[in-house]
Chain A
Amino acid sequence: MIALEALNVTKVYGTGVNAVTAVNDVSFGIRRGEFVALVGPSGSGKTTMLAMLAGLLRPTHGQIVIAGQDVSKMSEAKRTRFRGQYIGFSFQANNLVPFLNALENVELMLRLNGKLNRANKQRASDLLERLGLGDRLKNKPGQLSGGQQQRVAIARALIHEPEVVLADEPTASLDSERAHQVVRTFAELIHEQNRAGIMVTHDLRMCKYVDRVIQMSDGQISRIIADRADILRLAGMAEAADGPMPSTNGKATLAGEPVVLRGI
């Protein structure tokens, strides 16, 4: 079942001679229970695409349909309510409210949706426990490591049972081991809870946890990799090429040569 659909989406910044096309006629769909990586070099349009999928930015043309509703047509206030109800977020930085502890940060989504009750409080606590933060429930973000903060953000993104979960560079500030741990858990939860997940990342090694890779270049989709073997190959190449450091150009390389991918 399709949870999210982008139909001929274009985003142009500015007008006239200053117009810059960040995303150009992009279409794809994501099913429930599917975890997709949106990759590409800087300036390829993936963050703009994510902002439009999240209802934070209105496309110049095209439609974004989530749970059967066209987000691009909604008013600002309606989009805000929609985000709270149907979308879960994990950001690169400044993910958590600094004066709330880990449990309160997760419960925030339940409060926003008027779903804070005893049973849901227990679910929030259990989810954090599942993410290895059982002994950190009362810790504030300043008392948590980067990885722990990302895990709290993942719990917050999932607790209100959204249709779509979006993650923007969730591993950007994490070391290699923590990055794998966070994305692996994220993928497990998306599959378990049957959500549609999209992760924007520069780190191709993380692609081994996703079901599909959508590569963007110059505002368009340049490749879609759905074959499991190809995805693992891409991640493996990146791992071999980059070692503990993530790739930053969006193309895994081996011995200086670009990896040629099948399944486009």
Chain B
Amino acid sequence: MSFYLAVKEIWRSRGRYLLIAGIVALITTLVLFIAALSEGLASANREYIEKLNGELLVFQSGAELSTTASRLGRSRLAELRRVEGIADVGQVGFATAKVPQGDGQSDVNVALIGVEPGRPGDPEVIEGQQLVRARSNDVVVDTGVTDRLGLGVGDTIRIKVTQGTEDKFFDLNIVGVTDRRQYFFQPAIFVPFVTWDKIRPQSSDAIGQGELVSNIAVVKLTDPSNLTAMATKIEQEVTKVQAVDRKTAWEAIPGYAAQQSTLNTQRYFTFFIGILVVGGFFQIQTLQKVAQIGMLKAIGASNFTVGLSAILQIVTTNAIGVAIGTAGTILLVSNFPESVPIMLTGASASTAVLSLLLIGPIGGIVSVFALLRIEPLTALGLAQ
């Protein structure tokens, strides 16, 4: 009976219900788009760190987990390798370089990441070969580089860096390609650490001076199950370092937390607006149906029948809207250019869709209670 009444009303008043489903679809598109943008921006920021083949990242203490402020020398690395429970340690250095495009086009910024071949931090290739030699011009690039610059294994990539006051150009041989590992919104080039130290941007005083200094060290543990205890142990046994897990490290990337909280606030507000809009629609509809509901109750329809019918209508309309909105968003996102940081992952999309499916029931709950309170006496023009 409830199902019959719900379906008949939706079908016979489909224009009205399609309108609210359309509004839900637009809200769904907005929420999913913000979720995709949030995921895309987060991923573009943290991809390299997220995919690191080590469990802990070691920073210089006092650097506040900033990869650019942190400095770790070889001596610190030697101390790290002596800590019991550490399987391997790799030095990683971060810098930015430009890839000139010629023909008046602007240079493409890339993350120039120095890694020790075969050690934690060195990415696994999906094509070509791994970095092998510590001193060479061989590089591995991520698919961000191959997609944007149209280069592949066997090609040479020319980068421009500023050393002292001069722009210097270096030609590097691409020997392998790894999956997307952007860092700070830039496609990544992985260079043997010794080479990186020579070609990275630096002041004239620093060129060729002192020991090899990395920004961070990536630590692979023999037993990855006890991260907190190992981090504490490292901080106790190695001078002036701070050890954190990958998540803590990427959350400390400048702007990451602020950006995510801004986008999440937008998402929650859109969700809240959705609840108000859907709730308002069904509340108005309930007010318009007082006489009809009173009559139905008078002729013997129970509160359960009337309430369930309303819930079915709310859930169905909402689900149709969410389905249309989700399909539309997938279509929209798949047609965005590669350069736009939009990423609709299964996890973030399904969380958003599940929460959107709750918009209707949460918004409509007030109208369902209002329906239950309508007295059958209203059919006779009486109310207690």
Contact = CB atoms under 8 A, between A and B. Distances in A.
Nearest to B5: A97
B4 interface: yes
A56 B376 contact: yes
B291 A112 contact: no
Task: Please provide the 5 A-B residue pairs with the shortest distance between their CB atoms, ordered closest to farther.
Answer: A84-B300, A94-B291, A99-B12, A83-B300, A99-B9
Interface string B347-384: 00000000000000000000000000001110111101
Given A87-B300, A91-B295, A94-B294, 14 more contacts: A48-B382, A50-B380, A54-B380, A56-B377, A56-B379, A57-B384, A77-B303, A80-B297, A80-B376, A91-B298, A91-B379, A111-B1, A112-B1, A112-B301
B334 interface: no
* Interface of chain B, main secondary structure: helix
B119 to A, nearest CB: 71
Contacts of B5: 97
B299 A83 contact: yes
B198 interface: no
A189 to B, nearest CB: 17
A112 B300 contact: yes
A100 interface: yes
13 contacts: A54-B380, A56-B376, A56-B379, A80-B301, A81-B300, A83-B299, A84-B299, A94-B294, A98-B292, A104-B8, A108-B299, A112-B301, A140-B12
B302 A77 contact: yes
Interface of A: 13, 47-48, 50-51, 54, 56-57, 77, 80-85, 87, 89, 91-95, 97-100, 104, 108-109, 111-113, 140, 156, 168
B295 A51 contact: no
B299 to A, nearest CB: 5
Interface string B29-63: 00000000000000000000000000000000000
A168 B380 contact: yes
Nearest to B291: A94
Contact of B299 (A77, A104, A109, A140): A109
Given A48-B382, A98-B292, A111-B1, A84 B301 contact: yes
B8 A100 contact: yes
B13 interface: yes
Given A99-B13, A168-B380, A54 B291 contact: no
A78 to B, nearest CB: 10
A54 B302 CA distance: 15
A80 B300 contact: yes
B29 to A, nearest CB: 29
Nearest to B290: A94
A55 B59 CA distance: 79
Nearest to A168: B380
B151 interface: no
B360 to A, nearest CB: 20
Contact of A85 (B297, B300, B303): B300
Nearest to B300: A84
Contacts of B300: 80-85, 87, 109, 112-113
Contact of A111 (B4, B13, B298): B4
Given A111-B1, A111-B4, A112-B301, A97 B380 contact: no
Contact of A97 (B296, B377, B382): B296
B295 A95 contact: yes
B379 A89 contact: yes
Contacts of B8: 99-100, 104
B110 to A, nearest CB: 62
B380 A56 contact: yes
B292 A97 contact: yes
Contact of A83 (B13, B298, B303, B380): B298
Contacts of B291: 93-94
A138 B151 CA distance: 69
Contacts of B296: 97
Contacts of A50: 380
A71 to B, nearest CB: 13
